[in-house]
Chains A and B, each alone.
Chain A
Amino acid sequence: MNEAAVITVLIAMLGGAIRVSTPFMFVALGECLTEKSGRVNLGLEGTLVLGAMVAYAASYHTGSPWVGVLAAGVAGSVLGAMHGSICGLPRVNDVAVGIAMMLFGVGVAFFFGKPYIQPTAPRLGSIPLGFWSDNASLKSALQVNPLFFIGIALALALAWSLRNTRWGLVVRTVGDSAAAARAMGISVNGVRLMTTTVGGFLAGVGGAFLSLSYPGSWNQGLSSGQGLMAVALVIFARWNPLRCVAAALLFGGAGAIGPSLQSVGITQGYYFFNAAPYILTLGIMIATSSAKHSARDMPGELSMAK
């Protein structure tokens, strides 16, 4: 591999990291908010797939990809509200309900998504940030989707409001001690229903990015585990929205290794590099967990913590 090829791969990885990280970022921010209130929603994988399908269908029918993004968010919040209200009942296990919601979301998406595999829907445009450069591959790498910046802005807003607003204090209290929240007169289930619904909305938007920007089409193999990896990513990011963005970029880079190498004609080990994000996730989970004590900064009410 000569020098030019290395640079091409690195540039492709930079562009890939930005593109691949966006859905991770949205799902992780949604899950971060949900887990801050003390509940785990493992069903975001299903939400991501359903969001992708709904976004593609809505964009196809209305001609506007941004309507698609909104529709995906609404579909995601419906799934989130389902999870939130079911888990509000006594003696219901949120992890198990998450698995059920994952299968349900994927099933519904495949059911209604069949007619949309063939047609082409209008996609989201991107902002050409590489205008200053003459390098064609750098230009294409810096075609950044506006959703990427929306995601970063959301992370900043979420981090600020969790720390500085009354609303953030309520969410954190519910997540750290339900008994304390009840004593303060806060409706624990109400807060969790709201955070799960908003989390579902964000995961749905992440799905819209998958089908309307990158890879930019709808098919049944569109998401294989990104939603789940994003859940693991929140643990790694220690429930901090800003660290979620950094972790999403790291995961995006890992996910971009395979396609970048392919762009310079290296196809050997393609499946290995496809598995890289999963292996990275597992490695990070092993490295950051401990058998002796629960993870640092973990909301005390999480079922994982008990």
Chain B
Amino acid sequence: MSNTPVATGAPRELIDPLTTRAAHSDFAVRLRANSEYVVIPLLALIIAAGLFAVFLMAIGKSPVDFVSYVWRGGFGTAFSFQNTLQRSAPLILTALAVAIPARIGLIMIGGEGALVLGGFAAGALAIPMIGHAPPMVALVLMALFAMIVGGFWVGFSGFLRYARGVNETISSLLLTYIGIAIMNFFVEGALRDLSNPNKPSTMPIGDAYMVGKIPGTQVHWGFAFGLALCVALYFLMARTTFGFAARVTGGNSRAALAQGLPVGRLIVACSAIAGACAGLAGFFEVAAIQGRANASLAAGYGFTGILVSFLARHNPLVIPPVAILLGGLVASGGLIQRRMELPDATVLVLQGFIFVVLLTSETLYGRFAIFRSTKERDRT
């Protein structure tokens, strides 16, 4: 395994070992090749937006109004942009829950379940600690518990995949439904706060135990943690032996096995990391937004996170901007609903358009000569 990087680096040095021009042209070639991964998703976004505009016009609404309300509701003012950042925090974390397993070749869509169960676990753990433990200790324990529960939930899908060959996409979505049922079971039963007649919830954790805002903003710390995790997980997957082994497994698991890589442990580890991210998203939803665990946790962030990860091509560093874009769309949903008299599912329809067009655009890779180096073109 340790020989491989040397082997891939060798041909370049053989062609032109010393001159800096070689490095430059290499950079240009890479830029040219990588721009394909930016241009094609952007093209897909534009086409999806165009199709959605046609859809809006077909039902007699103005696409221009729609854009202006998305701008005003999601990005235009300091208040709305901070709201967008706040909404993008769970999207960043649930997108990571898709992106990390994708590196090892799994399509894992259990982020919603891990978010709900993680949030519920955090809210339940808070109940005996309220008024006894110092807030900082309580919050750290809650976050850890949420990550462990979430990690276990998605990790289980990964384990089933490796140990029993169970399709991870189906099992992770089934576990999502089971997770939501478990939360409902407790929230409407044993752990229900009977003093709250409106909506079945756990006991409120109280203002003293809430996660605060990032100083100088109205955005809770979940956003900062999301960004930090994106950077950390990028380095884990791109710059460490663990990440390299995971990517080898994702490329060809039989080859990875033949190399003696611990494929099973890698798959479970990547899935557990994914679940931990989604569980952390649940913790922040409970401890920074809702103040208690209830059915509002299943707000669909886990499903929007799938789209975010695919749009970012499962690259952790690209996830934050994409999450902010879609977070703004989610944040402006209420304004669009009120002002344009459109149903709240409008945002879902737009997301559906984007997702379908994006996956269709996969077929365009490698079709445009402009993205290929002259050498490659000569060869073909």
Contacts and interface: CB of A to CB of B under 8 A. Distances in A.
B107 A96 contact: yes
B166 A285 contact: yes
A225 B177 contact: yes
Interface in A200-228: 224-225, 228
B349 interface: yes
A304 B349 CA distance: 28
A129 interface: no
Interface in B313-360: 342-346, 348-353, 355-356, 358-360
* A interface bracket (residues with beta carbon within 8 Å of B): 35 or more
Interface in A212-267: 224-225, 228-229, 231-232, 235
B118 to A, nearest CB: 18
B310 interface: yes
B360 A228 contact: no
**Most chain B Cβ neighbours within 10 Å, of A42, A228, A275:** A275
A150 interface: no
A11 interface: no
B365 A92 contact: no
Nearest to B181: A275
Given A90-B363, A92-B359, A278 B181 contact: yes
B174 A103 contact: no
The main secondary structure of chain B at its interface with chain A is helix
Interface in A57-114: 82, 86, 89-93, 95-97, 99-101, 103-108, 110-111, 114
Interface in A259-281: 269, 271-272, 274-275, 278-279, 281
B79 interface: no
A214 to B, nearest CB: 20
Contact of B348 (A42, A86, A89, A106): A106
B218 interface: no
B373 interface: no
A289 B164 contact: yes
A7 interface: no
Interface in B163-210: 163-167, 169-171, 173-175, 177-178, 181-182, 184-185, 188-189
A108 B109 contact: no
B362 A271 contact: no
A294 B165 contact: yes
B170 A232 contact: yes
Interface residues of B, number: 46
Contact of A282 (B171, B343, B348, B353): B171
A286 B188 contact: no
Nearest to A104: B352
B360 A272 contact: no
A290 interface: yes
A82 B348 CA distance: 18
The main secondary structure of chain A at its interface with chain B is helix
A100 B352 CA distance: 6
A99 B307 CA distance: 10
A4 interface: no
B106 to A, nearest CB: 10
B229 interface: no
A110 B345 contact: yes
Contacts of B107: 93, 95-96, 99
A91 B356 contact: no
Contacts of B164: 285-286, 289-291
A232 to B, nearest CB: 5
Contacts of A95: 107, 169
Contacts of B174: 225, 228-229, 232, 278, 281-282, 285
Given A110-B345, A110-B348, A291 B178 contact: no
A286 B156 CA distance: 11
Given A111-B346, A278-B174, A100 B166 contact: no
B356 A111 contact: no
Nearest to B355: A100
Contact of B181 (A91, A232, A271): A271
Contact of A278 (B177, B360, B363): B177
Given A103-B352, A107-B351, A107-B352, 20 more contacts: A86-B359, A91-B362, A93-B359, A100-B352, A100-B358, A103-B348, A110-B344, A228-B174, A232-B170, A271-B181, A272-B185, A275-B178, A278-B178, A278-B181, A285-B174, A289-B160, A289-B165, A289-B167, A291-B162, A291-B164
Interface of B: 107, 109, 160, 162-167, 169-171, 173-175, 177-178, 181-182, 184-185, 188-189, 303, 306-307, 310, 342-346, 348-353, 355-356, 358-360, 362-363, 365
19 contacts: A82-B356, A96-B359, A97-B359, A97-B360, A99-B169, A99-B355, A101-B356, A103-B348, A103-B352, A110-B345, A228-B173, A228-B174, A229-B174, A235-B167, A275-B177, A282-B175, A282-B178, A285-B164, A304-B167
